[in-house]
Every structure is written in C-alpha cells, then in structure tokens.
Amino acid sequence: CFSLHYLIPQQGIPYSQSLAHFAGFLGIALVGIGTGFLFHELAHKGVAQRYGYHAEFRIWKLGLIIAVASAIISFGQFLFFAPGAVYTSTYKRPDPREEGLISTAGPVANIILAGLFFLLAMGTGYSDTWSLIGSFGFQVNLWLAAFNLIPFPPLDGVKILRWNKPAWFALAALSLWLLRMLMLGVIR
C-alpha cells in the first residue's frame, strides 16, 4: 500500500524503472512500517501483560480492505492503515491508570523508534539505502505516534487523555512539534 505510487509510470521514466523503484521502496516500507507497527502493538501487549491482563493482537479485516482500497483509489497518495490492534481481556475492567499506561506504550514505542531511525539516517548520510530506511522509518513512526494520539475512540489518545491530561498533552505536543519540524524541512 505504501509503495503503490511507484508502480505508476512517471513521465520520462520507463516502466521497468518504475517496477525497480516499487520493489526497492517496498523493502524500505516493510522495514520502516513493519517495525513501527510491530513494536507499537508489542509495547501495548507487554505493558498489558505486566499488569496481569491477557493481551492478543486481533486482525481487523475491514481495516485491511480499507487500507488496500484507499491506496488503490488514491494511487498510493493517501492511505488509511488500521489492520488490527491488541485487545486486553480480564475478569475486571482496567482502571484508568492501567488503561492509560497500556495505551501510552504504543505511541512512546513509535517516538523511540523515530529517534533510532533518525540516528540511522544521520549516521549514514542521505545517499544510500540505510539512510533512506532511516529517513522513512523516522517519518512513518512520527506519523504513527501522532495519529494514535488523536483523542478519538478507539485510538490510544482518548484513553491517555482520560487517564492523564498532562501526559497526553506532552506526548501530543512532542509528536506534533517533531512533525512540524519535519514538514518545514528542519529535520528529515
């Protein structure tokens, strides 16, 4: 879904080169998005289990269909990606603090990953595959953190805000500030 726009031939670029770009970016996207998604969900699961809850990832088939459809309809320019989430189950409802900490773990994992990918991009320069992986991983993890902090159910932000408004504000402000710096070109 994230590399689909490379399949569309650009003016003056042979289709075989478009296919090569697609294959190359597919690998970069798998590393950047794959680690971001995986560690986001594993962070939720780890914190939930630390509090004694059963936690498991459940796929959301409609979310996968929407992701593919939005990528195809927009030729890879817009994507709504929500393939599933970690669900906790127990005999009791988590208290707001536990639920807030479980929810905080995902966006924090993305912010930490963004920092690691940024170091990868900076440490290798902007001319090779590793720097492209670092740059893309940095950007996508910032977007994952910011998106998940939106205080709208079922996203993490609503549970964090319910638990601790200053914690939500600090995470949201950090994510939005980093995204703003990215969009202004101050950081890449």
The tens-digit pLDDT sequence of the chain (188 residues) is: 666 666 666 666 665 666 777 777 788 888 988 999 999 999 999 999 999 888 888 878 887 788 788 877 877 666 677 777 778 876 677 789 999 999 999 999 999 999 999 999 887 655 678 888 898 899 999 999 999 999 998 889 999 999 999 999 999 999 999 988 888 887 76
- Angle, nearest 10°, between helix axes 165-183 and 156-163? 140
| Number of CB atoms found within 10 A of residue 183's CB | 10
C-alpha angle 1-141-163 in degrees, rounded to nearest 5 = 120
Q: What is the DSSP letter of 85?
A: E
* Inter-CA distances, 23 with 30, 36, 62, 133, Å: 11, 20, 26, 14
Would you name the residues annotated as active-site residues?
41
Query: What's the pTM?
Result: 0.83
